Amino acid sequence: ALVLMFPPLPRFRCLLQRCWQRLEGGLLPGFSGGQSLPWGPALGVQASAFLPQPVHDTNESNEAPSLLDSILWMAAPKKRRTIEVNRCRRRNPNKLIKVKTNIDVCPECGNLKQKHVLCGYCYAKVKAETRLIREEIHKQEGGPFNAPTVETVVLYDGEKPTEKDAGKRIIERARKRPSWFAQS
Amino acid sequence: LCCFLIGNACVRGLLGWTRPERWLAASSFFPLSCIHTSCTALQRIGNWEKKNRIVYPPQLPGEPRRPAEIYHCRREIKYSKDKMWYLAKLIKGMSIDQALAQLEFSDKKGAKVIKEVLLEAQELAVKKHNVEFKSNLHIAESTTGRGRYMKRIRYHGKGMFGIMKIVRCHYFVKLVEGPPPPPEPPKTGFDQAKEYVQQLRSRTLVNTL
């Protein structure tokens, strides 16, 4: 007998009713539109006189035979996977984390970095200084859409604009020039 | 008789559990002033933490130096023990610097936690356990354990529900002073065959002359 564990919903209730009707009528669930029984009585009596029900069912069930087939024959695990089998799968070398060989030491700050990636510490340093420069720029501009059409030069403590920086916008920062920010 | 046996064992350096200093290390002698034996559910001291309390007797002049062992753990980390196990397996047997490098560039959530635990353990080693060089440590053991799970309802569609587990884990690490041991060479078929032949040869006949 088919036992469905979850509470039957309207669709499945119709399905169960149809299944039971067919079983009572003597047909296999997968046997669609049959007139004679494979295990009929030995008496040579016409089956159609005894079974008025299948006549209704064949008309109804022809609507969705594939739905019934797919629901009743779904793939399901046959046995519980033992912990030994589970461990073999989970601890297989292709599932273990691989050791990375692309880690180096940053020559500037001495922190670790990946070979193809910028050093995180140096990048954070540059990011912080850039943020402060941008704040200065915002203070100078005073509002949106006020960016001048000339280049910008950042000058630190004790630096004077050279003749190359003639027409450029000058941003002053009140600190010593950082070693990584070379003066052009 | 038992005192004689214990004395003998102490002299020979065996039977670590019989040494009387070790018994008094954890709990105080007088039952009225037992501050250390607290049995509250919130602050139960686990077995791993107690392993740091063992005190060995002073070594004899001829003995090789016993390497320092540091046990450290973190409890109730909000991560799965199975997922944490992969990281623990990664750093087993590595030197502490290599382990920290691998964990820094790992994308997993547990990598950050394990890195903090290793740094804490390194600090403990240098400050409390008389370790001279903080890089001269390697990871002897690293394991995960199951923490306290909580069950909650997860709502599905059509009025269905499932019961989900909020999963937590513990992480245990043992650092030992010294360079990491060389990795074992993998067992070849020839070695296995030799062992098999040795087993066959060492069989004896039972219940015969």
B17 in any annotated domain: no
> Residue B1 falls within a domain, yes or no?
no
Alpha-carbon distances, residue B204 vs A109, B121, B193, B194, B207 (angstroms): 68, 51, 20, 18, 10
What interface predicted TM-score (ipTM) does this complex get? 0.72
pLDDT more than 90, % of chain B: 78
Note whether residue B189 is domain-resident: no
In a domain, B186, yes or no: no
What CATH number did the domain enclosing B139 receive? 3.90.470.10
Contact status, residue B116 vs residue B52, Cβ threshold 8 Å: no
Please indicate whether residue A154 or residue A5 has the higher confidence score (pLDDT): A154
Mapping DSSP to helix (H, G, I), strand (E, B) and coil, where does residue B46 land?
coil
Instruction: Show residues of chain B in contact with A97, CB under 8 Å.
Output: 86-87, 89-90, 106, 108
pLDDT bracket for residue A55 (50, 70, 90):
low
State pLDDT tens for residues B37-56.
Answer: 655 556 899 999 999 999 99
Contact B47, B144 (CB under 8 A): no
Name every chain B residue with its beta carbon within 8 A of the beta carbon of A103: 101-102, 104-105
Residue A29 placed within a domain: no
Find the mean pLDDT for residues A105-130.
96
Could you give the percent of chain A with pLDDT greater than 90? 57
Structure tokens at B196: 């098999």
Residue A184: per-residue pLDDT: 78
Residues 9-38 of A with CB under 8 A from B: 9
**Residues B161/B155, Cβ–Cβ less than 8 Å:** yes
pLDDT tens-digit profile of A68-104? 666 678 999 999 999 999 999 999 999 999 999 999 9
Contacts of A6 in chain B (CB under 8 A): 160
- The chain-wide mean pLDDT, for chain B, equals 87
Question: DSSP assignment, residue B120?
Answer: H
Q: Do B89 and A96 touch (CB under 8 A)?
A: yes
Q: How many domains does chain B have?
A: 1
Number of domains in chain A: 1
The verdict on residue B143 lying in a domain is yes
B209 falls in which pLDDT band (50, 70, 90)?
confident
CA–CA dist B135, B92 (Å, integer): 16
Asked if residue A79 is part of any domain, the answer here is: no
SS3 A56: helix
Nearest chain B residue to A105, by CA: B101
Are the Cβ atoms of A103 and B105 closer than 8 angstroms? yes
Q: List the single range of A16-20, A71-75, B45-49, B172-176 with lowest mean pLDDT.
A: A16-20
Q: Quick check: is A95 in a domain? A: no
Alpha-carbon distances, residue B95 vs A84, A162, B90, B118 (angstroms): 31, 53, 12, 11
Domain that holds residue A142: 112-172
Asked if A173 and A155 count as a contact pair (C-beta separation under 8 A), the reply is yes
Residues of A in contact with B89 (CB under 8 A): 96-97
B26 found inside a domain: no
In a domain, B117, yes or no: yes
pLDDT at residue number A14: 64
- Domain of residue B132 covers 66-177
SS3 label, residue A155: strand
Q: Among residues B76, B169, B171, B70, which one has the least CA distance to residue B128?
A: B70
What local confidence, expressed as pLDDT, does residue A4 receive? 45
The sign of the CA dihedral B11, B12, B13, B16 is negative
Model pTM score: 0.69
Residue among A90, A126, A94 at smallest CA distance from A108? A126
Dump pLDDT digits (tens) for A132-169: 999 999 999 999 999 999 999 999 999 999 999 899 99
Task: Kindly state whether residue A85 falls inside one of the protein's structural domains.
Answer: no
